[in-house]
Amino acid sequence: MTLNILSGDPPRSRLLTALLAATVLGLAFAPFIFPGARALDVAAKICVFIVLAASYDLLLGYTGIVSFAHTMFFGIGAYGVAIALSAQGPHWLALGLGILLALGVALVTAFLIGLFSLRVRALFYAMITLAVAQAFQTLASQLSDLTGGEDGLSFSVPALLAPGTSFLDAPLLGVEFNGRLLCYYLIFLCAMLLFLVLLRVVNSPFGRVLQAIRENDFRAEALGYRTVVYRTVSNVVAAGFATLAGALLAVWLRYNGPDTSLSFEIMVDLLLMVVIGGMGTLYGAMVGATLFTLAQAYLQDLMKLAAGLFGQGPVTGGPLGALLAPERWLLWLGVLFVLSVYYFPQGIVGRLQKDGAKRVKG
């Protein structure tokens, strides 16, 4: 399997292997299997959040760092692309320049945060990152001349990625071969490549040291590893991947604003993705991001269907009909999260890998 060749970290579960294969193949052929603008938009966001969740798992699951500033780097990547393309026009050079400048700002910021904050206790570090993230969101909202303020920035992408660019005169297999489709596959390929690079990072000697620090930082320090250095580098690497994920989102949406990439809701969603999928597995980031994004996109539609089926009778039209109302989808999303944590305390991937190991031993 390709993932095994590149990372030396096979899924170790047949069911997990099938789940990962179905996810990758589903994303690869999403424009043909699930036609329509909405389905393509959901698939693109899944690709973006797989990278973002995997980068956060590098911090939380592999290094044991609780940071609330991860979406700040996500926003830096999105704003870098948005500002560059707004100022310079829809050119590839402007796109590349925006990504490079965003990476520079994010890496320097992550280094400074790690250097001055990772020496404190975990709770204080989490509070520091939360304060920095909120300050950055406020700054982005107030610098309206640069960031567009609360309204954000709308911009055009290079012509090859624009929806108006058509490569075939007629649809093929019911799909328009245009710039929007090319943009999706660019995001898909970049997301898969970044995910594989992260797999390689966590399974390298560097990644093993991070896991040792997570388990017992005092023992790792006693063995000669400078834990502050490794934590700082982990913070910088995770910030870089989050920045690239933000750049991918901005290219896809052709818009960015404070609520799009910097809101605290995204940080909460990100934490849920990692916990549901399974911390410290990285495969869990893929599974968690996929399931959570699908739930956000389609749970309300499923509830509307359920309300139509079960909420019309003389009994079910009362409390049950009210509970199944589509506007209460967040309630059911919370219920699903509680159930997933209860039945999968190690996350979905952690449970599948544990069951797979039992079968091998048996």
One digit per residue, pLDDT tens: the chain, 362 residues?
A: 444 445 667 777 888 889 999 999 999 999 998 888 899 999 999 999 999 999 999 999 998 888 899 999 999 999 999 999 999 999 999 999 999 999 999 999 999 888 777 666 677 888 888 889 999 999 998 988 889 888 899 999 999 998 888 887 777 777 888 889 999 999 999 999 999 999 999 999 999 999 998 888 888 888 888 888 899 999 999 999 999 999 999 999 999 999 899 988 899 899 989 998 988 889 999 999 999 999 888 887 777 776 666 655 444 455 666 666 666 777 777 787 788 777 777 888 888 887 766 666 65
Domains of the chain and any CATH numbers: 2-361 (1.10.3470)
Rounded Cα distance, 245 and 227, in Å: 27
pLDDT in the model for residue 1: 42
Rounded Cα distance, 115 and 237, in Å: 14
pLDDT in the model for residue 315: 45
DSSP class of residue 176 equals -
pTM of the model: 0.91
- Specify whether the CB–CB gap between 342 and 5 falls below 8 A: no
What letter represents residue 10's amino acid? P
Alpha-carbon dihedral of residues 219, 223, 226, 231, nearest 10 degrees?
-50
pLDDT in the model for residue 209: 92
Structure tokens at 84: 């560059």
